[in-house]
Chains A and B, each alone.
Chain A
Amino acid sequence: MTYSVPTAPGEQEAEVAADVEQHGWQLWEVFVRQKRGLAHVHAGSIHAPDAETALQNARDVYTRRVEGTSLWVVPSTEITASNPDDVDTMFEPFADKPYRHPTFYDIPEEVGHM
């Protein structure tokens, strides 16, 4: 994460970002697809210096017990997340709209489990 530090006139800007790059690897989010036809599901995160290594590290950490047939890795910084403080406005309004669930239909016996 980069951020700027206020400086006094003539003062050198602190190199926070460079320091982070030198002493740590970037964080990547890992998505694993268990088998064909299923969607990739978030499994966790790993550290790696580049995309190829991220893929290898993800393979070693998250698929070593035959959990997957396909992997995605995404730089964590590329993910835009909803703010936990916005839960009320983001998700609460859906709570009283049960008619959006397809539970008001009678499903014919022949259809079986949907």
Chain B
Amino acid sequence: MTTRLTRRPVSAFTLRHGDDNLILAQRLAEWISRAPELEEDIALANVALDHLGVSQLLLTYAAETGAAGETDDDLAFLRSEREFSNLLLVEQPNGDFAVTMARQLLFDAYQLGFWEGLSASKDEMLAAISAKALKESGYHFRHSAGWVIRLGDGTDESHTRMQAGLDSMWRFTEEMFAMDDLDRELAASGVGVDLAPLEDPWRNRVGSVIEEATLTVPSDPFQRIGGRSGEHTEHLGHLLTEMQWLQRTHPGLDW
């Protein structure tokens, strides 16, 4: 398998965004049978499946543009922790429902801007996948924003928990807009997205939800980055252990 360092730029770029969606899908799937209400259980599963669908499209394309013979399944189930290039935000544990909704709000607002930008990519495949994903993100944002407002502007208990959720996730937000050499190279060639201009619209989007929720926009000076280069928090390894168990235990198993 081609490693992160030797992978072709288009493949590496596609892979990191495929990883974002794959890891978040796995996290959200952990809510299945545990959401506060049956209807919310189905809603979270739907969001998880949206992300899983996008990740499959992206990982398939990353494999096509990667090493010969590589498949999307190889990328999902046979890479180790250091080879995953997802954002630290999406691998964070679900916590309580408010923590999950905080993570979703911050990420959904980011994806709205990102997919919009990438849908203008010179790479036709990436543009097409983004156009599809953008519609789904619109709904995800509506769902998470609704919950953040409802919980923030709810009871004392829900307000406190919602604020704690936002505070605990805020340290992973700057990474979404941090650009490395790969991002700059692909943005310059029109295949990727210039991430820096996405930050202000993101702040406005998230800020107006937080304001309506009567919450306070966190200002955490301690920001963590490293996911794009494979330096993850301790939580990713545990997630992969569960997600990859079947394929690791029974190599090549299919259905």
Question: A residues engaging B (CB < 8 A)?
Answer: 25, 46-50, 52-53, 56-57, 60-61, 64
Q: Which residue of B lies closest to A57 (CB)?
A: B39
- Give Cα distance in the complex from A53 to B39, angstroms: 10
Q: Which residue of B lies closest to A24 (CB)?
A: B37
Q: Which residue of A lies closest to B38 (CB)?
A: A47
Is B171 an interface position by the 8 A CB rule? no
Closest 5 pairs between A and B when the two form their complex, measured CB to CB: A57-B39, A60-B43, A60-B46, A60-B42, A46-B39
- Give Cα distance in the complex from A76 to B42, angstroms: 21
- Measured between beta carbons, the chain A residues less than 8 angstroms from B43 are 56-57, 60
CB distance A48 to B46 under 8 Å? no
Q: Provide the B33-46 mask, 1 if CB < 8 A to any CB of A, else 0.
A: 00001111011001
- Give Cα distance in the complex from A56 to B46, angstroms: 11
CB distance B37 to A25 under 8 Å? yes
- A56-B146 CB under 8 A given contacts A61-B42, A64-B46: yes
- Measured between beta carbons, the chain B residues less than 8 angstroms from A61 are 39, 42
Shortest CB-to-CB span from A26 to chain B, Å, is 11
Question: B residues engaging A (CB < 8 A)?
Answer: 37-40, 42-43, 46, 142-143, 146, 150
Shortest CB-to-CB span from A93 to chain B, Å, is 41
| 19 A-B residue pairings within 8 Å (CB atoms) | A25-B37, A46-B39, A47-B37, A47-B38, A48-B39, A49-B150, A50-B150, A52-B146, A53-B146, A53-B150, A56-B43, A56-B142, A56-B143, A57-B40, A60-B42, A60-B43, A60-B46, A61-B39, A64-B46
Q: Which residue of A lies closest to B142 (CB)?
A: A56
Q: Which of A52, A60, A64 is within 8 Å of B39, CB to CB?
A: A60
Q: Which residue of B lies closest to A49 (CB)?
A: B150
Shortest CB-to-CB span from A82 to chain B, Å, is 28
- Measured between beta carbons, the chain A residues less than 8 angstroms from B46 are 60, 64
- Give Cα distance in the complex from A38 to B54, angstroms: 33
Q: Which residue of B lies closest to A52 (CB)?
A: B146
- Measured between beta carbons, the chain A residues less than 8 angstroms from B37 are 25, 47
Q: Which residue of B lies closest to A56 (CB)?
A: B143
- Measured between beta carbons, the chain B residues less than 8 angstroms from A56 are 43, 142-143, 146
Q: Which residue of B lies closest to A58 (CB)?
A: B39
Q: Which of B39, B143, B146, B150 is within 8 Å of A47, CB to CB?
A: B39
- Give Cα distance in the complex from A47 to B143, angstroms: 16
- Give Cα distance in the complex from A46 to B46, angstroms: 16
- Measured between beta carbons, the chain A residues less than 8 angstroms from B40 are 57
- Give Cα distance in the complex from A57 to B43, angstroms: 7
